[in-house]
Structure 1
Amino acid sequence: MTHQQFGEVAASAMAHNARMAADRKAGSAEPSNASAQLRAAMLAELERFERDRHGAGVDLDEDRDPFEHVRNIADDYARHKQGDAEGLADFLGLLATDVLSLRDVRDIRLAAEAAAAITPRLIQSARDQGQPVPSIADDLGVTESYVYRQLRKTAAEATSDVTGEAPPVDEYRISTRTADQQ
């Protein structure tokens, strides 16, 4: 290829690229390969769907996870907690100055108390539905022994509801009642 031919090819390629950029900017560019065509079609369909939802008066935030912000804080805290102390201190400083207000912290603390209060019920419900203890522990981020302890407490509470008396969870008693005494 001569120097002149190379210059002509380069000029042609530059002109083609300029036309494609202008078409993209104007929204009239046709994708050149199948994957690009599929991507463009999917994006157009998603845009149409969002326009239709918005036009129907649907709140676009309604399908977002209501706990997303809390989960992000929890994930970031766990990550920083496993890292260096300085990174954790910086993260906590950011939370205290830019992210959370006193009211936010109050609400999170009350929600945490409620979560702690219902945890034994959730554990029992998951177990009743056949979920294995290791899976429950993993979902809650606790040890298996914690799950077993909560299950024993729940069973002891159920027994006390029936008999009016229940042994402490960590104490084992052998019943001396006979079948006709029960």
Structure 2
Amino acid sequence: MSREQPPRPTEPTLAEFREFLINRAQESPEPGFWRSALQENITQLIVSLTDTYADGRHAGTIAACGDPDEDRDPLEFVRQLAEGYEQRQGDASALVQHLDGIARQLAPEDVRALRVAAEAVKKITPLIIRIAADEDGMTAAHIANDLGMTESYVYRTLRTHRENYDPQ
């Protein structure tokens, strides 16, 4: 998937400014009163104000124009994650670099949500196969291709799960 990057603004974005503040606060060349008390409190206040401003701006945009993310595919990130992973399978160095980049984007609660979602998808895959075949009229080859599985898996799943679906 090729995506053109927008030109980089000459001034930092609000998110970049916030990250800069947090990074600078974590750098401590000379510990002491200035660093531990005053600087920490000022930095926290500025970051908090920046967050409040950004939240208000986003809410204002939604109120005035609607949610800019409304038209986005809700699974776009997951699709990009999977595509990037598959594309780098043959190149260990590129894969490690790609996974490192993803790890830095995700918070632990994001990973939990993805892990739980993966378990749910694993359990409903037989139902998805049955619906695609029986209700949508898709061929086993088409289903297998879309799922990234073999045709024999699709046929076996259809034989086993057509009559009674049990997510256990």
Using the size of structure 2 for normalisation, the TM-score is 0.56
Contact 2:130 2:162 in 1 (8 A): no
Q: Give the deviation of 1:138 after TM superposition.
A: 0.7
Matched, 1:77 2:100: no
Q: Give the deviation of 1:58 after TM superposition.
A: 2.0
Q: Give the deviation of 1:111 after TM superposition.
A: 0.5
Q: Relative contact order (C-alpha < 8 Å, sep 6+): which is higher?
A: 2
Q: Distance in 2 between matches of 1:93 and 1:115?
A: 25
Amino acid at match of 1:113: E
Matched with 1:148 is 155
Aligned length, in residue pairs: 104
Amino acid at match of 2:82: A
Unaligned runs of 5+ in 2: 1-60
Relative to structure 1, the CA distance from residue 91 to residue 56 in structure 2 (aligned partners, 3 Å threshold; closer, same or farther) is closer
Matched with 1:118 is 124
Q: Give the deviation of 1:57 after TM superposition.
A: 4.2
Q: Distance in 1 between matches of 2:68 and 2:129?
A: 34
Matched with 1:162 is none
Q: Superposed, which structure 2 residues align to 1:99-110 within 5 Å? A: 99-110=105-116
Amino acid at match of 1:111: A
Identity of aligned residues (%): 47
Matched with 1:49 is none
Using the size of structure 1 for normalisation, the TM-score is 0.52
Counterpart among 73, 98, 111 of residue 91 in structure 1: 98
Q: Give the deviation of 1:131 after TM superposition.
A: 0.8
Relative to structure 1, the CA distance from residue 142 to residue 152 in structure 2 (aligned partners, 3 Å threshold; closer, same or farther) is same
Q: Distance in 1 between matches of 2:112 and 2:139?
A: 34
Q: Give the deviation of 1:153 after TM superposition.
A: 1.3
Amino acid at match of 2:154: V
Unaligned runs of 5+ in 1: 1-52, 159-182
SS at match of 1:103: helix
Matched, 1:135 2:138: no
Amino acid at match of 1:64: R
Q: Give the deviation of 1:60 after TM superposition.
A: 2.0
Q: Distance in 2 between matches of 1:128 and 1:156?
A: 11
Aligned-pair Cα RMSD in Å: 2.0
